[in-house]
Structure 1
Amino acid sequence: MDLRGASADSLRELTAELDGALRAGEHAERVARELYNVASLLRSEPALRRFATDASLPAEAKQGLIQQVFAGKLDDVTFAVVTSAAGRRWTSARDLADAVERLSELTAVTSVGKDANKLVDELFGLGQMLVANPELRDALANPARSIEDKSALLDSLLDGKVLPATLALAKQALGGTYQTLTGALTAYRKVAAEAGGEAVATVRVVQALSDTDRERLAAALSRQYGKQVHLNEIVEPGVLGGMRVEIGDDVIDGTVSSRLDDARRKLVG
């Protein structure tokens, strides 16, 4: 979900509006759910989406239609933000739905209050569960199964075991906005970390790091990137010693297998 130009500006301004109006907890959970539903409706109703983003129309006309569609159906905060969104400029029509969905993700993060790091860890754990269980991943990605059926499967696996926001975001991932379920969960982790002023680093090692080593690595990465870095660790026997760190688009590969590959390439060359 990469918004640019006027769309990026509009999303930034709408995010500021939400920050001033939201309360953590159940209120934010409701707003997050409603924003996602609005985004889904905008995607399924192209005529409404085009009208709400038509730059040739006055903002008041676009906002008036949105208010008619959603009057009495949304929390006051959701209603105000969606109305505001209809009065703003968008680079393309589909950007409105994407922005409203991103706002739902940010609101889900707000709902957990001080548990943002727990949310990041739970999303990571769910992603690893999907990687380790291809049958589960295939069941959740199967287009022949309804969203309701897939949501019920997630409920059976996660309800009462994770934060409500983790389960809500997992269900949102079923909507197909992102290419894959694991891709959606990775994007949500990034959103959650960035909302708290952090970055997320995935660390692949041959054996689990000690608490001391984790603290040293997090401190070193934080100094390098100028912000707090939250570590998610994956133990992989194929690493063959050392570690591989992935943070954003950067990859720091200090594994033995990587060095062996480099040596082989040099010998062949």
Structure 2
Amino acid sequence: MSQSVAAKRYAVALFEIGKGKSNLDQLEEELLVVQDVFNHDESLSDFLNNPRVSGDQKKEFVRQVFKDVSQDTLNTLLLLIDKRRVDIVQDLVSEFVSMKNEARGIAEADVYSVRELTEDETKQIQDVFAKKMTINTLRINNIVDPSILGGLRIQVGNQIYDGTVKTQLKRLEQNLVTANK
């Protein structure tokens, strides 16, 4: 079973538990903290993936490190240790956040621009694309990319809206090349 399929299964299970208990926001916050700890502490992953360390030692360590998280989040981590699937924590968190956002009508977008967007520009993009995509909210992650020359490139999931000067110049070049043939 691939990692993404396994991560999705665990994320779906945790999502359903959270939905039943109406604590999806809390679970998301906790999972983001867990993800952050895994991202910034390579020794944690090394320890949890070490075959010389017993499962009980790993579980006790996780109980100590994540003592402030809910029982549902902790049980998920302990289950991942039991099933030797600690390596899917990052994917599990991503899947969970995606499911929560989709259930709430929230999408995340990467907006590439030549400079940092102002608050008004960000709000305007959120409003236009939320209506266009029939969602409630669009969260924007602004990425400054001077190579686009001007305009915007917006990526929401697998959809890309490209209105950059760089792309327009490429299209113009292609049209001129094909017109001269």
Rounded Cα–Cα distance in structure 1 between residues aligned with 2:172 and 2:44: 55
Task: Compute the displacement of 1:80 (Å).
Answer: 2.2
- Which of 47, 70, 84 lines up with 1:75 in the alignment? 70
* 2:49 corresponds to 1:53: yes
- Which of 135, 138, 153 lines up with 2:116 in the alignment? 135
- Confirm or deny: 8 A CA contact 2:7 2:91 kept in the other structure: yes
Rounded Cα–Cα distance in structure 1 between residues aligned with 2:172 and 2:43: 56
The aligned amino acid for 1:109 is: N
The aligned amino acid for 1:106 is: S
Superimposed CA distance per residue, residues 1-33 of structure 1 (whole angstroms, 9 cap, x where no aligned partner)? xxxx65335313312322331228972122112
State the number of aligned residues: 161
Question: Is the partner of 1:202 in helix, strand or coil?
Answer: strand
Q: Which residue in the other structure is 2:151 paired with?
A: none
1:72-221 maps to which residues of 2 (within 5 A)?
A: 73-90=68-85, 95-109=87-101, 112=104, 115=105, 119-120=106-107, 123-124=108-109, 127-128=110-111, 131=113, 134-136=115-117, 186=155, 189-190=156-157, 200-203=158-161
Question: Is the partner of 2:159 in helix, strand or coil?
Answer: strand
Task: Compute the displacement of 1:37 (Å).
Answer: 0.8
Q: Which residue in the other structure is 1:39 paired with?
A: 35
Rounded Cα–Cα distance in structure 2 between residues aligned with 1:25 and 1:165: 24
Rounded Cα–Cα distance in structure 2 between residues aligned with 1:99 and 1:89: 15
Rounded Cα–Cα distance in structure 2 between residues aligned with 1:80 and 1:164: 32
* 2:141 corresponds to 1:260: no
Q: 1:80 to 1:111 in 2, by over 3 A?
A: farther
Task: Compute the displacement of 1:109 (Å).
Answer: 1.6
Rounded Cα–Cα distance in structure 2 between residues aligned with 1:181 and 1:54: 40
Superimposed CA distance per residue, residues 120-141 of structure 1 (whole angstroms, 9 cap, x where no aligned partner)? 3xx34xx44x526x0349xxxx
Higher relative contact order (CA 8 A, sep 6+): 2
Gaps of 5+ in 2: 128-134, 146-153
Q: Which residue in the other structure is 2:150 paired with?
A: none
Task: Compute the displacement of 1:97 (Å).
Answer: 4.7
Q: Which residue in the other structure is 2:149 paired with?
A: none
Rounded Cα–Cα distance in structure 2 between residues aligned with 1:165 and 1:77: 27
Q: 1:263 to 1:85 in 2, by over 3 A?
A: farther
Q: Which residue in the other structure is 2:148 paired with?
A: none
- Confirm or deny: 8 A CA contact 1:63 1:84 kept in the other structure: no
- Which of 14, 21, 24 lines up with 2:17 in the alignment? 21
Task: Compute the displacement of 1:35 (Å).
Answer: 0.6
Gaps of 5+ in 1: 138-153, 175-179, 191-199, 205-233, 241-254
Give the TM-score, by structure 1 length: 0.44
Q: Higher strand proportion, which one? A: 2
Task: Compute the displacement of 1:108 (Å).
Answer: 3.8
Q: 1:258 to 1:26 in 2, by over 3 A?
A: farther
- Confirm or deny: 8 A CA contact 1:29 1:165 kept in the other structure: no
